[in-house]
Chains A and B, each alone.
Chain A
Amino acid sequence: MIRDITIGQYYASDSVIHKLDPRVKVVCTFAYIISLFCFNQLSGYIIAAVFFWCIIKLSKVPFKFVIRGIKPILFMLVFTAMLNLFWTSGGNVLVKFGIITITEEGIERTVFMALRLVFLIIGSSIMTLATTPNQLTDAIEKLLKPLNRVKVPVHEVAMMMSIALRFIPILVEETDKIMKAQLARGADFESGNIFRRIKSMAPIIIPLFVSAARRASDLALAMDARCYNGGSGRTKMKPLEYKGRDIAAYLVMAGYIAVIIIAGKYLPF
C-alpha cells in the first residue's frame, strides 16, 4: 500500500556524473545556480541550457526523470510568472485592460524569470538524481568542516541528517504494518468527512510515534555501547578523496563560468 513511497529520487546508474566525488557535485551545483544570475541576455540562457543538456546526457538519467523535478514547483512558477507579467512597468504597452497592463518588458522578464527558475530546479535535481542521500551528507559534512573552528557541530548535524534519511524507509514499512494491523481490527480510514478521517488516523499515528521513540532510544543505546562520542578523532571507512576526474570536472565548471561571464560582457544579445 504505502510502501510505494520513495523519498529522495536517486536514479541508479554508473555514469561519470554518478562516479564523481559528491563534493564536486555539491560545489558545481552551487556554482551553476549562481551562474544563472550572472547574465541577463539570450545568449547566456542558450549557453546554460546547452551546458546542462550535456550534463543530463552524461549522467544517463532519462530526461523524463529530470523534468519530473519541476512538477512540485509548477504552481510557484506560474504564480511568479503572473506577478512578473502584470506588475512590470516601463517599455512598450501591449495590452491595457483595467488595472492589468502587459508591457513588452514584462513579457521578456516573465519568460526569462521562468526559464531561470526551471534551470535552477533542473540543475539541482540532476545533483539529487545522481547522488545518494548518504553521499550528499558526507559531502556536506566535509565541505562544512571549517565551520568546526567556530564551534558549529558539523559532524553531529551530518550524523543527524543521515540517521533521519536512514529511518525513512524503516518508518514507511512500520506504517504499512500498523495500518494493516488496524485494518484487521476493523479500522476504517477511507469513509467519513475530513474530521472523522483525521480522528481515524490516531490508531496509526500513536503506535508510529511510540515505535519511532523506541527505535531512537535503541539506536542511541547501540551507538553508546560502541563508544560513539561525536566527530572528534573519527575516521571514515570510505574517505572522500579527489581523483583525476574530479579535478577535470572542476576545470570544466570553471570554463563554463568563464564563458558565461565573457558572453555576458561582450555578446550584444
Chain B
Amino acid sequence: MSIKLQNVNFIYGQGTGKEKQALKNINIEINDGEFLGLAGHTGSGKSTLVQLLNGLERATSGEIFYNGQNIYDKSYNMRKLRSKTGLVFQYPEHQLFETTVINDVQFGPKNLGLPQLEVELRSFNALKMAGIDDSLLDVSPFALSGGQKRRVAIAGVLAMQPEVLVLDEPAAGLDPAGRDEILGLLKKLHKESNTTIILVSHSMEDLAGYVDRMLVMNKGEIVLDGKPGQVFQFEKELEKIGLGVPQPAKVIHQLKEAGADIKGEPVTAEESIEAIYKWLSKEAL
C-alpha cells in the first residue's frame, strides 16, 4: 500500500494566458505507515501537491498510483479515494457548519454511508483522540475556542478513519501549547493506528521532532528528500530557499564546524543536548 507519483506536472490557469506552473515533474513514493513531512516556502507548491493526492485537483500531466492503481483511470472511484485519504485543509475550523460538535464530526462518516451506530462510534472515538471533552459534544462548534475548533475539525476527518491522513499547516496560528497538542495528537495517532501521515508545514521546527522522512519543495520541485537529520545537513541550501534549519541543528552544525567531535545528526533540542553532553564529558576525560 503506497502512493506513487510519476512525472506529475500541474499548471494553474491553463488556457487563460496567465499560466503558472505549480508543480514540475514530481516523482515520489510514499510508503505505507510513513510519517512524512513536506516542507517548503509559501508558494512552493505544497498545498497543490496535497490536493492532487486525494483527487481534488487533477494533474496536468503525469500519473498517480494509489496502492498500485492509477487514480486517473476512468473506472477509478474518486469518491472512494477521498474517503481513504483524509485531507485536513489550512484553518480547518473554517469549515465547521453543524449545530453541535458531535453532528459536525459525524458529517464525514455519514457521507461514507456507514450505519448510524458505526458513525457514532467513530465520531466519539475521533473526538476522544483529539482530546475534546465529552461535555463539549452538544455545544455549538462556533462557541469553542480557536484551538478546540481546530481539534474538532481534525476529529471530523479522523472519524472517517482514512488510511492516509494529510494535514496542511495544522499548527498555523496556534500558540506553542496548542501546536504541541496538535502535533502530539498526530504522533500518538501514527503510533497507535499506523496511519500514513503527511504533515505539510513551512516550519522546520514543527517537522523536526515528529516526522521520519522529510521532503523539501522549492518552486514546484522536490529539492531534498531524506531523514530530518540528513536534510538539515544542507543548511546553506535550505536558507537560500527561505527555510533554514531549527536552532538546535544550527548550534550542532556550528560546534562541528569549530571542530567539536559530535556523533550523529541530532534534530530536536533534547537529542542535541544529549549529544553535546556526551561530547563534553568525553572532552573532560
Contact = CB atoms under 8 A, between A and B. Distances in A.
Contact of B157 (A177, A184, A188): A184
Main SS class of interface, B? helix
Interface stretch (B92-100, B127-135, B235-243, B264-272): B92-100
A110 to B, nearest CB: 40
A182 interface: yes
Nearest to B91: A177
Nearest to A4: B16
B89 A180 contact: yes
B97 A206 contact: yes
Contacts of A210: 94, 97, 142
A178 B107 contact: no
A186 interface: yes
A203 B95 contact: yes
Contacts of A181: 87, 89, 92, 94-95
B94 A211 contact: yes
A185 B111 contact: yes
B72 to A, nearest CB: 17
Interface in B13-63: 51, 54, 56
Contacts of B96: 207
A184 B89 contact: yes
Interface stretch (B78-86, B193-201, B202-210, B275-283): B78-86
Contact of A203 (B54, B82, B107, B112): B107
A164 interface: no
Most buried by B among A177, A181, A185, A211: A185
B95 A182 contact: yes
Contact of B87 (A184, A187, A203): A184
Interface string A51-91: 00000000000000000000000000000000000000000
B108 interface: yes
A87 B214 CA distance: 77
B51 A185 contact: no
B99 to A, nearest CB: 10
A183 interface: yes
B160 interface: yes
B97 A186 contact: no
Contacts of A185: 95, 107-108, 111, 156-157, 160
Contacts of B56: 180, 183-184
A202 interface: yes
Interface residues of B, number: 22
Given A180-B56, A185-B108, A188-B111, A207 B82 contact: no
Contact of B54 (A174, A177, A184, A188): A184
Contacts of B142: 210
A203 B112 CA distance: 16
A88 B169 CA distance: 68
Interface string A131-166: 000000000000000000000000000000000000
A186 B94 contact: no
Contacts of B112: 186
Contacts of A202: 97
Contacts of B82: 183-184, 186
Contact of A207 (B54, B97, B160): B97
Nearest to B89: A181
Given A207-B95, A207-B96, A186 B89 contact: no
A178 B157 contact: no
B156 to A, nearest CB: 6
B54 A187 contact: no
A184 B88 CA distance: 8
A206 B95 CA distance: 9
Contacts of A184: 54, 56, 82, 86-87, 89, 157
Contacts of B86: 184
Contacts of B111: 185-188
19 contacts: A178-B94, A178-B95, A180-B51, A180-B56, A181-B92, A183-B56, A184-B56, A184-B82, A185-B160, A186-B79, A186-B82, A188-B111, A203-B95, A203-B97, A206-B97, A207-B94, A207-B96, A207-B97, A210-B97
Given A180-B56, A181-B92, A206-B97, 19 more contacts: A174-B94, A177-B89, A181-B95, A184-B82, A184-B89, A185-B111, A185-B157, A185-B160, A186-B83, A186-B112, A186-B160, A188-B79, A203-B95, A203-B97, A203-B107, A207-B96, A207-B97, A210-B97, A210-B142
